[in-house]
Amino acid sequence: MEWHWKELLPVDRLMIRAKDQLTVQDQRVLILLYQPLIGAVAYSLYMTLWSELEDDIYWSEETTHRQLMISMDLPLPQLFQERKKLEAIGLLKTYKKKQDDYSTYLYELQPPMSPQAFFTNDVLSVYLYNRLGKTKYRQIRERFLIDKLDEAGYEEVTYAFDEVFTSLSHSEIATHHQSELIEALEIDPNKEVVQRGQEQDLLFADHSYDFQLLESDLGTFSNAKKLLTVEIKKVIIRLAFVYRIEPLEMSRLIQQALLHDDELNVEELRKRAQEWYKIEYGNEPPTLGLKTHPLEHREMSGKVPQTEEEKMISLYETTSPLDLLESRSDGAKVPLADVKIIESLLLDYQLMPGVVNVLIDSVLIRNDMKLTKALIDKIAGHWSRKNIKTVKEAMELARIEYQKNTAYQQSKNDSPVGKVEKGRPKKSSVRKDKLPKWLLKEQEEKSSATPSDNNNNQDPKLAQEKEKIKKMMEQLKQNKVLKEED
């Protein structure tokens, strides 16, 4: 699916706008705080857009995305993905105007948060801690700390404005100057003065959090309608996103953080959420991961699966990699090492969530349910270079790779060198991998052509493994249904 032709074209125009210039402090914040979260490519795109603005110029000349692709040496799909990172983290606002043959995009650059706003942000500070680790995080934060002013023994003697300056009386201002003054002070309504934007928090577009359930559970303890203001709801959404807190559990945490029946101590709620997460998941901070497969890359969006393969495609597209791993462990906690492997596949190798699901599943089932990082990195690098975007492409590539590996192992075992070692026949060591049905598609088609041979020669162990795969798939579907019902 060539999704980028629907979203963005190389001939589409672009203009860049800024409300302020970057300061030295801003650049330090971008490199030390933002770059670990968005990656070097997204940071490079941000700085490239800034470089199009000359000093004291806040609008760029119109250009095309093809020129930006050449400047960045990036294909259009990756350029679009990196742009979305900048938008999601608050460094870019994008506006689109459609013409007959092309579209014009306006990219409004946003300055980064101040260090104070970043380190007090519920989402960014937690994820930066996870990316850098405790020691490095504290070292970076220390660079943005200053000693508090000890006011003990000091008395402020700063002069006020009206103590230094005086104002002219009306009689001292010539009449003919008054109209000039009024005219000079007026600002063209189509323009605005350069300004440093207000600190903007991250924008969350997920409106699926069940506040109705939260309100009904809180209703017996407090005035939920009055308590859950717009600002409080924003805090709740952020905390629920980072710490994966469901509405009923959030209700209990809110009750513990209440000052009065209708007043909530937000700082106390944050502490309660962090303590709850430690009890549930241990001391490791939550990791930053992407959601399920993007809609523009889905093969089964809006379709009803008919075949077994289509059902698997739909499952991979609508399941997050973390949920897939949890289902493979019967709901047990996913080890931190495996979580970091998922994070690396999503962020470092830029693989889509559904593609990551296929990679993880094929490695797990063929490798005795173990995630071997070296093997995963090798496959991920290959798939990333081939620019695999859809689940169907990933499944087909995994199938081809398995067939090549099987043919190689068979030829190795059939060769004289493979059969004889030091004058003695070598035992056959054909691998009996635990394979999902979609990976066995071609083999099953061949075996179905000779049913009598299949019934007589079928490996009981392979049959057991296939039955195990079937049960695992059913369990994954059941877990998904239960989550949707919750």
> Is the predicted pLDDT of residue 64 greater than 90, yes or no?
yes
C-beta atoms surrounding 322 within 10 Å: 18
Hey, CA dihedral for 189, 190, 195, 200, is it positive or negative? positive
Q: How does pLDDT run across 415-474, given as a tens digit for each residue? A: 665 555 445 544 444 444 455 667 665 555 544 544 444 444 445 555 655 565 666 666
Give the whole-number percent of the chain exceeding pLDDT 70.
70
307 or 35, greater pLDDT? 35
Most confident of 41-50, 95-104, 185-194: 41-50
Look up tokens 């300061």; give the residue: 23
What's the pLDDT at 444?
A: 53
263 or 16, greater pLDDT? 16
43 or 7, greater pLDDT? 43
Give the whole-number percent of the chain exceeding pLDDT 90.
21
Q: What is the DSSP letter of 422?
A: T
Three-class secondary structure of residue 379 per DSSP: helix
What's the pLDDT at 63?
A: 93
Give the pairing of strands 420-421 and 263-264. Answer: unpaired
Most confident of 294-298, 331-335, 434-438, 440-444: 294-298
Most confident of 70-84, 192-206, 230-244, 468-482: 70-84
Query: Both tokens of residue 44?
Result: 């490079």
18 or 161, greater pLDDT? 18
Q: How does pLDDT run across 110-138, given as a tens digit for each residue? A: 999 999 999 888 888 888 988 888 899 99
Residue (of 232, 117, 270) closest to 128 by Cα position: 117
Hey, CA dihedral for 396, 399, 401, 403, is it positive or negative? negative
What's the pLDDT at 308?
A: 85
Could you give the residue ranges of the DSSP H alpha helices within 282-366? 308-318, 321-328, 336-347, 353-366
Query: Both tokens of residue 171?
Result: 């009689």
> Is the predicted pLDDT of residue 317 greater than 50, yes or no?
yes
- Name the average pLDDT for the chain: 77
